[in-house]
Structure formats: structure tokens, C-alpha cells
Amino acid sequence: MKKKGNIFIIIVIVSLIGFIIWKKNKQYTALSSVKTSSATIDSIYQRRIIPGNLYPLTEVAIKSSISGSLEHVYVEIGDKVEIGDKIASIKIVPDPLKLEAAKSKLKISLINFKNQKKILERNKILFKKEIISSAEFEVYKKSSALGEEQFVSAKNQLTLIKQGFIKNTEISNVVKSTASGTVIDLPLNKGASVTEHNNFNNGTSLAVVANVDTFIFRGMINEVDMIYFKQGMKITLHFNAYKNEVREAVLNKISAKGKDVQGVMKYYIEAKLGLVNDSLVIRSGYSANAEIVLEKREHILTVQEKYLHFQKDATYVTILKTDGEEEKRFVETGLSDGIKIEIIKGLSENENFKIENE
């Protein structure tokens, strides 16, 4: 009987050990089939991206003071010019009415000049014979000089109408640069019509000269972000034309008047970008994105925001214990960048929690 009792006890012990091993294996299988994640130490930067465009600090349109057609262009896009350098020449297309009037004026002035000259010659003889006084002779000299001046002026006016310039004078059909910089645009082809620039007409642009050593970034920001922007602050520029190039610009202008854009009030900003001795080539109108860091947290406990559960005003994760049991753990969160979120309280580093919403 005693022997049978011992056998029974052995069987019970072996069965108990087997049950424990089976239970542990079952728990391990259940745990291994559940996806988990854990909190890690990381940094979070809350950024704002502002799309915009880049333009030279100064752009000057070079225009002609006379009308006609484009005869010759002395520069090419990319050339550097100084004030007074030749840009283009204009071929005059005379107006028939103005041309006829100028010819008539020249003939009349010539007739008047010849007549005054004859009168002066006659009175010169009388003056020598002391028949007329010195004062009277001076009147004839003045009339002759005025007649000559009117003739020369009429002749010059006819030359201007026909050719657009007068030799040995500052009056010319050659258009010169009014600014120093780089030629970034030549909008006209040879033979194109050119309209003069005056008080009543904006005129035709022959070239655009710009300062390409300094560019201005222009973009718009929402009114809710205005508190983060201050004049003189640095912003980071990312260029769509250069994937791996980044430059810093200085914010130098924030508009005081907003613009309603699809129901959202936005404000213009400008940031200055210096490119002196920089190998980066920027062309007027290039698109870029300005980036600023609104808030940052470094070396903090973070989790992927998509793994959190939200219940009314509370946030929680499901902690998976080593025995297979689950615990609903409420956590306090902080700054988020849309992907990672700061865990202020409720979770420890490397503490596993269940992933249910991936």
C-alpha cells in the first residue's frame, strides 16, 4: 500500500509540473503573438513650414526715353553691368506728321536766318559809315544770332526724328544702364517695338538688372503664428531646386496689414538671404520653404502618438505584464510634432505597452 501511495504522489507532482510548463508556454505564446512598443528617450521639435518664393533684393527695369524698334542689344543674360554701360540701341521709326512738321520748321527757320543775316550785313555797312548808332546795330546782331539758333535747333529736331540721336551730344538712341548688377532678363527680340518712358507712359522694358548677391524670401503666415515671428530672427530655407541645400535667412519684414485668404487672415513676411561668395545659384522666382522651430523638447520620454488611446479628456496605453495580464495605464502628455509625443507622467523608459491601432 505504501508503494502505491508513493507512485500516486509522484504522478501528481509530475502532472503539476507539466501543467505549470504548459501554462508558461501558453502565456509565452500569447505574449509573443501581441505587438508591443515602448517609450524611448528622444527630442521633439515643433516646426512650422512657410512656402514662398525668392526674388533679388533690387530689380531695375531698363527703359528707353525714345520710341522705335529694338536695333541692337549689347548685353546677354548673366552679364554684370555698371551704371552707364550700354544696354541696347533704338532704331527710330519717324512719325509722318512729326517728320513733315519738322521739315517745314527747318525750311522756315532757314529762310528767316538767311534774311536776318542779309539785314545784318547791310546794317554793318551803315554802322561803319556811322549812319546808325551802336545800340541799333546790336539789335540787328541779336536778331541774326536768334535766327541762327532757331535754324540749328530745327535742324537738330529733324535729325532726332529721323535718327534718334545727334552726334557729339548727350542725346543718343543708345539706352544705358541706370543700375549696377546682373542682367537677369532680356524680354524683347531684335526688331520688337519699343515705347518710350515718360510721365504718361510706363514704357517698354529692354532689360532687367538685379542685385543677385542678396535675395528676399517672400511668404505668408497665419495670424495664429504671428506670436512666434520677430524681426531679426533666423529662419531656415529649403530650396525646391536643391534637395540637399539649406541656408539661413534673417527675417527683416512682417506686414502690419493682413489679407483674407479663403477665410484665413494671413500676413506677408520677408527674409533677407545673403549669397556673397556662395556657390549656390538662385534665380528670380525660385520656390522655397521657410522653416522655424516654434517649440522644442530635448532628451525627453516619447512614444509614437498613433499608439495612444483617447478616452474623453484622458489618454492611456495598455501595459502588457509579464504574466500576460493587461493594465490600462493613464498617461500625461506634452509637446507633439504630429508623429512623436512627449510623455510627462505615467510611463517609464522601455516599459512595454500593447499596440492595438496599427
* 288: region left, alpha or beta (phi > 0 left; psi from -120 to 50 alpha): beta
Tell me the pLDDT of the chain (358 aa) as tens digits. 555 556 656 665 656 665 555 555 444 444 455 677 788 888 988 888 999 999 999 999 999 888 888 989 999 999 999 999 999 988 877 777 777 887 888 899 889 988 988 888 888 888 888 888 888 888 888 988 898 888 888 888 777 777 666 665 556 778 899 999 999 999 999 889 888 888 888 889 999 999 989 999 999 999 988 888 999 999 999 999 998 899 999 999 999 999 999 999 999 999 999 988 888 889 999 999 999 888 888 898 988 888 888 888 888 888 877 666 778 888 888 888 888 888 888 888 877 887 865 5
- Distance separating alpha carbons of residues 147 and 110, to the nearest angstrom: 8
Question: In the structure grid, which three cell numbers stand for residue 13, read together?
Answer: 507532482
Where do you find CATH 1.10.287 in the chain? 96-163
Topology, domain 96-163: Helix Hairpins (1.10.287)
48-56+212-294 CATH:
2.40.30.170
Contact between residue 175 and residue 88 where contact means Cβ atoms under 8 Å apart: yes
Reading phi first (left if > 0) and then psi (alpha if -120 to 50, else beta), residue 123 is in alpha
Residue among 75, 281, 80, 92 at smallest CA distance from 186: 75
Which ranges in the chain are annotated with CATH 2.40.30.170? 48-56+212-294
Distance from C-alpha of 340 to C-alpha of 301, rounded to nearest angstrom: 10
Nearest to 89 by CA among 170, 179, 199, 163: 163
Angle at 46 between CA 332 and CA 237, to 5 degrees: 175
- Topology of the domain covering 59-92+167-210: OB fold (Dihydrolipoamide Acetyltransferase, E2P) (2.40.50)
Please give the Cα distance from 127 to 326 (Å, whole number). 132
Q: Are 223 and 233 in contact (CB under 8 A)?
A: no
Q: pTM of the entire structure?
A: 0.63
d(CA 181, CA 198): 24
**Residues 271 and 247: beta-carbon distance below 8 Å:** no
- Burial (CB count within 10 angstroms: exposed 0-12, middle 13-18, buried 19+), residue 180: middle
CA distances to 233, 292, 297, 337 from 44, rounded to whole Å, are 21, 13, 5, 6
> What are the residue ranges of CATH 2.40.50.100 in the chain?
59-92+167-210
